[in-house]
Copies of this chain bind each other. A is one copy, B any other.
Amino acid sequence: MLKNYWYVACTSRELGSEPLGRIICGEPVVIFRQDDGSVAMLRNVCPHRQAPLSMGSVDGKVLRCRYHGMEFNAQGRCTHIPSQDVIPPRAHIKSYPCTERYGLVWIWPGEHALADAASLPSLPWREDEGWNGDIAQYFHVKSAHVLMNDNLLDLSHVAFLHADSIGFDSRRLEGDPLQVTVEDAYVSTRRVFKNTMQAPAHKAWRELKEPIDRTQLAEWRPPCFVNVLARNENDEAQVDLRADHFITPETEASHHYFIAMARNFRIDDEALTQKLDEGARQVHSEDVEIAEAQQTMKALTGGAPDMALKADKAVTAAHKILARLEAAELRGHEPVQAESVS
């Protein structure tokens, strides 16, 4: 797993006044919001008796352990131990660089010195007043994170797995060929279906006079982010939906899956927001179901290799980039941040 990258730890909406415990890249993390609203992240283990600090409570700037009341600030410094005055150095715990933006809370699980808020992915549509970016979803998935990564790098699955909602006629997979672009730390796939019908779900969002041109553009960046643009357009209008996918490893066999969605149409229509949210939840549940089933099968068959198809050009390219970046991280080189190459 790449460590020197920003990962999404939770959505802003998930983090209220109670601390939130989550395992990220194999490490137990507690996320909390101080009284000024800023987020902090610490190792989720009290050094006293290893109770999870996420069971505790926030008091102003500090997080108090629920068990025996030890207190820690945002830097992981222990600031109070009941029944004693001296605070020994080993009472301090690890903190993680973190920030909040785009309605998402971000963690840098790697080296402190390398963390750089400027290297967050750029998601301008999530801050543009002409867009509605209210939807942010979270799924806990019992599969290796690479399975969800690969899912998003081969959107031909949409024709089959999501046939009833956002699918398209699978016969067009040959007629409308896939354009794959590979750069140093970037892979994109683009497919434009000319003169086609709107997908059932798209029609419900904003029905256009048919036929339309439908664009499916997926832009992948390490460690595991995929920005997907779904566009329907004709002479009447251009309707864009952007679904940004963030995949955060939990353990070797599980991950956190976040999807933030933004649209440039009917942006004040809250009923539509709810309908989109529900529809997307159904779609992403199908992805979760298949990833978990793959994981089960891989466990059963002892990890036999996958078979790359022509449609997997982007998957293969991304795996090569990841292997190179992981090797570089092991050698101690600087990471290649997503934004630096896009």
Interface residues of A in 41-68 (CB under 8 A from B): 44-45, 47-52, 55, 64-68
Interface residues of A in 74-120 (CB under 8 A from B): 81-84, 88, 90-91
In the assembled complex, how far is the CB of residue A140 from the closest CB belonging to chain B, in whole angstroms? 16
A interface bracket (residues with beta carbon within 8 Å of B): 35 or more
Give the oligomeric copy count: 3
Q: Mark A282-313, 1 if CB is under 8 A from B, else 0.
A: 00000001100110111011001011011100
Complexed CA–CA distance, A174 and B300 (Å): 48
Contact partner, A150, options B49, B91, B156, B173, Cβ 8 Å: B49
Residues from chain B with Cβ under 8 Å of A68 in the complex: 154, 156-157, 160, 309, 311
Complexed CA–CA distance, A224 and B67 (Å): 20
Is there an interface contact between A82 and B311, defined as CB atoms closer than 8 Å?
A: yes
Complexed CA–CA distance, A121 and B39 (Å): 51
Residues from chain B with Cβ under 8 Å of A45 in the complex: 297, 301, 304
Complexed CA–CA distance, A304 and B51 (Å): 12
If A55-B293, A173-B82, A174-B83 touch, whether A298 touches B66 (CB-CB below 8 Å) is no
Is there an interface contact between A90 and B156, defined as CB atoms closer than 8 Å?
A: no
Contact partner, A55, options B52, B90, B290, Cβ 8 Å: B290
Known: A49-B306, A64-B160. 7 other contacts (CB 8 A): A45-B301, A45-B304, A51-B293, A51-B294, A65-B160, A67-B157, A84-B309
Is there an interface contact between B84 and A310, defined as CB atoms closer than 8 Å?
A: yes
A159 contacts partner chain B, Cβ-Cβ < 8 Å: yes
In the assembled complex, how far is the CB of residue A291 from the closest CB belonging to chain B, in whole angstroms? 9
Q: Mark A124-142, 1 if CB is under 8 A from B, else 0.
A: 0000000000000000000
Closest partner residue, chain B, to A78 (CB atom): B307
In the assembled complex, how far is the CB of residue A319 from the closest CB belonging to chain B, in whole angstroms? 13
Contact partner, A49, options B48, B65, B294, B310, Cβ 8 Å: B294
